[in-house]
């Protein structure tokens, strides 16, 4: 449950898997590792369904999923920066921004899951007339 907008929220690295420690060269933050695991599991679960699709459909889904994945990682970076900038205490505008980023991330995770599991996705309809 989310705290009210006037209540400061203390982010704990283990709870959100966010890290205030800068990434070392070649090392991912816990939040990025978590996102990568979520996406890898989704891809593995959908492999059988995706294999049934024709090559054009698979290619389109792969390209869209890659774009969604990139955006998810961008949002995770932004969220980590907000947490770090505010020393893990989110209140006021910082809290609102963090909540919005979390909502966007969740929506993209759903789109990604649909794409890699062969389910209908509104992203597949973009550009069609």
pLDDT in tens, 54-73: 999 999 999 999 999 999 99
Domain span at residue 34 reads: 29-118
pTM, two decimals, is 0.72
Structure tokens at 73: 């990682």
Is there a domain that residue 61 lies in?
yes
How far apart, in whole angstroms, are the C-alpha atoms of residue 63 and residue 45? 18
Tokens of 123: 């992203």
Closest to 50 measured CA to CA, from 127, 122, 115? 115
Establish if 4 belongs to a structural domain.
Answer: no
Q: Give tens-digit pLDDT for 8-58.
A: 444 433 333 444 344 455 677 888 888 888 888 888 888 999 999 999 999
CA distances, 9 to each of 30, 81, 129 (Å): 20, 15, 45
Question: How many domains does one find in the chain?
Answer: 1
Q: Is 10 within the bounds of a domain? A: no
Domain membership of residue 24 (yes or no) is no
Kindly state the DSSP code that residue 118 receives in the 8-state scheme. T
Query: Does residue 8 belong to any structural domain of this protein?
Result: no
Residue 19 forms part of a structural domain: no
């Amino acid at each position: 449950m989310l705290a009210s907008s006037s209540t400061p929220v203390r982010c704990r690295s283990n709870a959100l898997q966010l890290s205030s420690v800068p990434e070392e060269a070649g090392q991912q933050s816990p939040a990025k590792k978590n996102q990568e695991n979520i996406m890898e599991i989704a891809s593995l679960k959908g492999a059988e369904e995706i294999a049934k699709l024709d090559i054009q459909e698979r290619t389109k889904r792969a390209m869209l999923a890659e774009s969604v994945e990139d955006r998810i990682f961008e949002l995770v970076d932004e969220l980590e920066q907000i947490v770090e900038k505010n020393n893990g205490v989110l209140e006021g505008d910082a809290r609102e921004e963090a909540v919005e980023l979390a909502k966007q991330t969740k929506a993209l995770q759903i789109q990604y899951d649909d794409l890699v599991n062969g389910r209908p996705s509104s992203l597949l309809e973009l550009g069609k007339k």
